[in-house]
Amino acid sequence: MTDSNLHGADEPVLVLPEEFGGNLIMLEGPWILRTLAASPDLRRTIKSLGKAKDKQWDISHIERLDSAAAFLLWQAWGEKLPVGLIMRPEHQRLFAHWHGRNIPVPHSMLLDFVKALRFKPMWLQGFYRHFRAWVTLFGRLILDSVYLLRHPRAAPYKEISLTIYKTGANALGITALVGFLVGLSISYLSSLQLQRFGAEIYIIDLLGLSIIRELGPMLTAILIAGRSGSAMTAEIGIMRVTQELDALSALGVSHSMRLVLPKVIALSLALPLLIVWTDTLALIGGMVSAHLTLDIGYRQFLDHLPTAVPIANFYIGLGKGMTFGMMIAMISCHFGFLIKPNTESLANETTRAVVTAITVVILTDTVFSILFRNVGFP
């Protein structure tokens, strides 16, 4: 008797010959993973027949047998070979693989609340380590600054000048382009809305306050964090890889004095100047767009701008620039010193430095907005 639901030359077949009274179970055809996956009824039948201890099994007529089908039969037989099993010699090695091995019982995945609770302390511990290292670096900079006030000739003037050139002069092109395009797009989009209410003249107030107070410092700081901040981290990391930091230590040269302090001073000086440059180009772009879309003259724009934007907003932007520059330089140097002497660590820490610097810039800008919420408005 053959299972009526399982026929075909390319399908596994289970046969119960009548001359043996149903006590012999013969398997024929291809018993492989692909054919068994398409025969769920056969798998259930094998499991039910495998519980019967008085049955004799004959698998010598199987055309092809793989490890998946062998494991199915092994489980159906109770993880042991049945008595009187008839099989070919080449099939023995498949079952020998499972013989004498403890197969783990599958169980459902449960949420490990202990590991989940450990995640928060680990995150706080990592944040504490970074914060402690950053505060230590800040303290060293203060001590170096006090020392330079007493010994001005020991100041690293060449390093400061070179860093100002790299972070400031070399960034004039990209900041000018971004500032001009941002001012152009904001002016164009705002003009479409102001025309609906007949308030075209307020485009000057909108551009002045948004660019000088917020967008100019923010965009410039983000650009410098991605451009110069990553370069600072990579520079210190390369010095770690090439053992130049070890050489400086051997010579008694302070890392914070020669590497960190020039970058902090240079970026604190260069970033406010870059913000003024970016604000100027952004206002020029907004002025051009306002003239083309709202027919506001250039002279009218320039005459109304000081009235619409109090000078306090300009000073707030410069204050943001100095703070952003100091934070970007310190964060970049902090992650640079964390780099290990391998290329993978160099890439990881440089990425973390840029992401952290941009995040801190946004957080610092939010603090400035809260502290000076009543300052600089006409």
pLDDT band at 354, cuts 50/70/90? very high
Strand partners, 65: 31
Domain co-membership, 87 together with 161: no
Using CA atoms, how far apart are residues 282 and 193, in angstroms rounded to an integer?
A: 20
Residue 255 has pLDDT above 50, yes or no: yes
User: Does 263 score more than 70 pLDDT?
Assistant: yes
Q: Are 290 and 301 in contact (CB under 8 A)?
A: yes
Same domain, yes or no: 88 and 153: no
* 243 and 320 co-located in one domain: yes
pLDDT value for 7? 44
- The residue segments making up the domain with residue 21 are 13-98
- What pLDDT was estimated at residue 3? 43
Alpha-carbon span 358 to 354, nearest angstrom: 6
What's the structural domain count of the chain? 2
The pLDDT of residue 318 is above 90 = yes
In a domain, 106, yes or no: no
> What are the φ/ψ torsions at residue 104 (nearest 5 degrees)?
-65, 145
262 belongs to a structural domain: yes
Same domain, 135 and 20: no
**Domain co-membership, 130 together with 91:** no
Asked whether residue 362 carries a pLDDT value surpassing 90, the answer given is: yes
Say what the pTM is. Answer: 0.66
pLDDT per residue as tens digits for the range 118-156: 555 665 667 778 788 878 888 888 888 888 888 888 888
Confidence class for position 257, pLDDT limits 50, 70, 90: confident
Q: Which has more pLDDT, 332 or 13? A: 332
Please state, rounded to an integer, the average pLDDT across all residues of the chain. 83
Structural domain includes residue 224: yes
Of the listed ranges 77-86, 345-354, 365-374, the one predicted with least confidence = 77-86
Q: Is 7 inside any structural domain?
A: no
Q: Note the pLDDT of residue 8.
A: 45
Q: Are both 168 and 263 inside the same structural domain?
A: yes
Which residues have CB under 8 Å from 57's CB, separation 6+? 24, 25, 27, 77, 82, 84, 85, 86
Map the chain to HEC letters.
CECCCCCCCCCCEEECCHHHCCCEEEEEEEECHHHHHCCHHHHHHHHHHHCCCCCEEECCCEEEECHHHHHHHHHHCCCCCCCCCECCHHHHHHHHHHCCCCCCCCCCCCCCHHHHHHHHHHHHHHHHHHHHHHHHHHHHHHHHHHHHHHCHHHCCHHHHHHHHHHHCHHHHHHHHHHHHHHHHHHHHHHHHHHHHHCCHHHHHHHHHHHHHHHHHHHHHHHHHHHHHHHHHHHHHHHHHHCCHHHHHHHCCCCHHHHHHHHHHHHHHHHHHHHHHHHHHHHHHHHHHHHHHHHCCCHHHHHHHHHHHCCHHHHHHHHHHHHHHHHHHHHHHHHHHHCCCCCHHHHHHHHHHHHHHHHHHHHHHHHHHHHHCCCCCCC
Residue 169 lies in a domain: yes
pLDDT digits (tens, 9 = 90+) for 208-220: 889 998 899 999 9
Q: Are residues 73 and 144 in the same domain?
A: no
pLDDT value of position 162: 92
Indicate if 206 and 124 belong to the same structural domain. yes
pLDDT of residue 107: 57
Whether residue 180 sits in one domain with residue 63: no
**What CATH number did the domain enclosing 83 receive?**
3.30.750
Non-local (6+) Cβ contacts of 375 within 8 A are: 312, 316
**Range with the lowest mean pLDDT among 79-83, 201-205, 229-233, 329-333?**
79-83
pLDDT digits (tens, 9 = 90+) for 166-187: 999 999 999 999 999 999 999 9
Task: Please write the tens of the pLDDT for every residue from 223-238.
Answer: 999 999 999 999 999 8
Indicate whether 52 and 133 sit together in one domain: no
Q: Are residues 85 and 149 in the same domain?
A: no
For residue 107, being part of any structural domain is answered with no
Of 233, 259, 255, 86, the closest CA to residue 160 belongs to 259
Whether residues 362 and 317 share a domain: the answer is yes
**Of the residues 64, 98, 132, the one at which a domain ends:** 98
Report which of 325, 313, 206 is spatially closest to residue 263, judged by C-alpha positions.
Answer: 325
